[in-house]
Structure 1
Amino acid sequence: MIFSVRFMVGCLLGLCCLPQALAAQQDLSLIRQTAETYARQQTAHLPGQVTVTLGAIEPVQFAPCAKLQAFLPLGAKLWGNSTVGVRCAAGAEWSLYVPVTVRVQGPVVVAARPLASGKLLAAEDLALQTAELTQLPSGVVSDANDAVGKTLSVGVSAGHALRQDMLRAPLVIRQGQAVKLIAQGQGFKVSSEGRALANAAAGQTVQVKTQNGQTVSGVARADGSVEVQY
């Protein structure tokens, strides 16, 4: 009889403590909400239509946290399949990693028809399509103005997405060409003649041999001259 009474008292005490034990666990929905808010904030600047989807969180029992803090794990990038970390910054010590998928629908410049290597691109050579950017190689061109007037370094088929590394700016200086050298510094500006030792597009550095035999480096200008800063 004494055993039965003790057993019943123990059960009643256990039932009374059960809600407290359950309440002492971290709400996983708050972890999920913290991770999602962080992911959306960090991807708000991306071009195009961004979709953020969170994966399932493994059922775990964590001590309640007074302050949740989301972070991006070292080496991670919110692009395609990724991960957002959530740690407890006050009240307990734990962290959890939440799977996140980021999709971005945006404009991509593609070849309107088959284009050969060395082709100087015009507006009619290009078309604009909407694509899933996270599934494409990095450096795809999204604005046709960034491609018009440049030369293709490789041949592409119709519908092929153009990348920045496929494009070459037109040459404004060719090797062996006589060029105008403009040397300038604080309080002076001098012009002379020289001969280019390499090809160069506008903005590129090129070496020039001066009339007295010296070799100097300068920046090619769009007008074919070379600017040397001192």
Structure 2
Amino acid sequence: METKLLNHRKHSDTASAPGLLHDLGFEPFQVWAALLSALVWLLLCGGAVLFSPSAQAQQPTVSSAGDSGVLQAYVQTLLHEQALPSSNDSKNNNHTPWRVEVVLGQLDPRLKLAPCDKVKAYVPSGMRLWGNTRVGLRCEQGAVRWNVFWPVSVKVWGQALVAVNTLRPGASLTQEDLRLAEVDLAAHASPAVLRAQDVVGRTLSRPLQPGQSLRQEDVKARRWFAAGDMVRLTVKGSGFSVGAEGTALTAGDEGQCARIRLDGGRVVCADPVGSRQVEITL
């Protein structure tokens, strides 16, 4: 009895709808036309929002000076796109790959950056991703154009020479004084020494503690000859080599130009390369 009553109510509600619309002055085809028009309007509005340039933009905008997270994302994206230091870039004779670690600093909290719709991250001219460096951030589309620098520390871990024991200035380095260990190659402006044969027999210029990295500036330059010594000059070029004799007017320190007077009286500047030997490369 209850089921029949429910069915009767459903039938009565369904049947009364056309009559109600008719009493209000609407014909059925007018109702369906209005519903269809509303559906089309909603689809068009939704599509306009979905496919608008602002909806499709991939880059977030900087809405205020507090959007440091957005700026940091730009820096991280740039670093991922850059070629970071590799052991293939150096005279790494032990073929051990470097381990690169990038640490982001923080912008000066006192900076008040205006809102920006387009920010570009870049590596400043003359800068390289090595040691303490920085990445530039430039607003290219906004009411106020600004340019700031984000501090970045690039640590490059690789095998280099360290002191075995405490070494004092003036000590002559031996093979037993040094060993290979993993150090941050980019921690100092002076390059780390990678090969013992490059420094054995040379004099230490500053003290080193056990485990401390040996840098090129930590050893004194070799003096291959003194002023007044007779030296052998070799001039090298593409496909030829010419030798001559001369007299050193200045001491022949490694890495520094030495003035040599040739037998004909001409004075040249040559690079000391060995015991009483200098070279000029054309």
Tell me the TM-score range normalised by the shorter chain. Answer: 0.5 to 0.7
Query: Equivalent residue for 2:76?
Result: 36
Q: Does 1:48 align with 2:99?
A: yes
Distance 1:146 1:167, change over 3 A: farther
8 Å CA contact 1:140, 1:161 repeated in 2: no
Deviation at 1:111, TM superposition (A): 1.7
Provide Cα deviations, 1:61-93, integer angstroms capped at 9, x if missing partner: 96561x421135799876667654433324654
Deviation at 1:139, TM superposition (A): 0.8
8 Å CA contact 1:196, 1:207 repeated in 2: yes
Where do residues 189-204 of structure 1 align in structure 2 (5 Å cutoff)? 191-201=243-253, 204=256
SS, match of residue 34 in structure 1: helix
Distance 1:97 1:213, change over 3 A: closer
SS, match of residue 162 in structure 2: strand
TM-score by length of 2: 0.52
The count of residues paired between Structure 1 and Structure 2 equals: 206
Where do 5+ consecutive residues of structure 2 fail to align? 1-54, 56-60, 87-97
Larger RCO (alpha carbons 8 Å, 6+ apart) = 1
Query: Equivalent residue for 1:139?
Result: 190
Higher Rg of the two aligned structures: 2
SS, match of residue 218 in structure 1: strand
Where do residues 107-126 of structure 1 align in structure 2 (5 Å cutoff)? 107=158, 108-126=160-178
Q: Does 1:156 align with 2:196?
A: no
In structure 2, C-alpha distance between the alignment counterparts of 1:77 and 1:185, rounded to whole Å: 32
Provide Cα deviations, 1:169-215, integer angstroms capped at 9, x if missing partner: 43333333222345688999765433323331566432234446654
SS, match of residue 45 in structure 1: coil
In structure 2, C-alpha distance between the alignment counterparts of 1:42 and 1:131, rounded to whole Å: 23
TM-score by length of 1: 0.60
8 Å CA contact 1:88, 1:94 repeated in 2: yes
8 Å CA contact 1:34, 1:70 repeated in 2: yes
- From the two aligned structures, give the one with the greater helix fraction: 2
Give the letter aligned to residue 226 of structure 1. Answer: V
Query: Equivalent residue for 2:38?
Result: none
Query: Equivalent residue for 2:157?
Result: 106
8 Å CA contact 2:62, 2:115 repeated in 1: yes
Q: In angstroms, what is the RMSD of aligned CA positions?
A: 4.6
